[in-house]
């Protein structure tokens, strides 16, 4: 299902991005060379897709543990700061069209 959302013509779908700040600095990560969309590029701390019935906050907490091995404390505030829709081509018929 996820692959279908990232193949041309890139149907609009839900996603989220998490920006983690610590000591006044933003934690970025470099995408794996094996990723089919935007491989080997620097990006936000974590981005992914919510599972059915999952809140943005729960999805963010799950994904930061999965990708970076970071467990956020319960009291760590996660808040929505912007909503946007964007579309970008990654090459080779892959890309994104997401509502964040």
Burial class (CB in 10 A: 0-12, 13-18, 19+), 98: buried
Sole residue written with tokens 């808040």: 79
Residues forming the active site = 47, 98
DSSP string, 6-21: TBTT---EE-EEE-EE
């Amino acid at each position: 299902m996820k692959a279908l959302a990232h193949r041309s013509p890139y149907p609009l779908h839900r996603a989220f991005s998490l920006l983690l700040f610590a000591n006044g600095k933003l934690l970025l990560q470099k995408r794996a060379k094996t990723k089919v969309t935007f491989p080997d590029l620097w990006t936000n701390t974590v981005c992914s897709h919510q599972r059915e019935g999952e809140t943005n906050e729960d999805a963010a907490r799950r994904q930061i543990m999965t990708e970076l091995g970071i467990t956020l404390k319960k009291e760590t505030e996660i808040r929505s700061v912007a909503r946007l829709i964007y579309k970008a081509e990654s090459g080779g018929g892959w890309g994104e069209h997401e509502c964040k």
